[in-house]
Structure 1
Amino acid sequence: MEKNPSIKCSVDECKYHSNAENYCTLSVIQVGTHESNPTKQECTDCESFSVK
């Protein structure tokens, strides 16, 4: 699949990671949180992640 130049990603372990560059190959991603009141970047998650 081709990279989506609008979505950067450095998680090589994701099956949607563009192997050639640090981009996602999905057309859209879902971002969520595991906190009831997120206040830091670490509180957010890429819910589109799927392990290779």
Structure 2
Amino acid sequence: MTRRLNSKFYPTESCLMSRINYDSMSDVELKQYFLKHRGDQTAFQAFVNK
């Protein structure tokens, strides 16, 4: 069984330069993303502001 990666967390090669839409993430998704990318200050601010 193969698990498909969520594109909000793992952008495809063609959109690596695009911004991540933190507003479209649920609270749980945003928390998971932030915990995996602790250096992302924008993700931190989005998490704090939710």
Asked which structure has the greater RCO (Cα within 8 Å, sep 6+), the reply is 1
More strand as a share of residues? 1
Q: TM-score, normalised by structure 2?
A: 0.20
Q: TM-score, normalised by structure 1?
A: 0.20
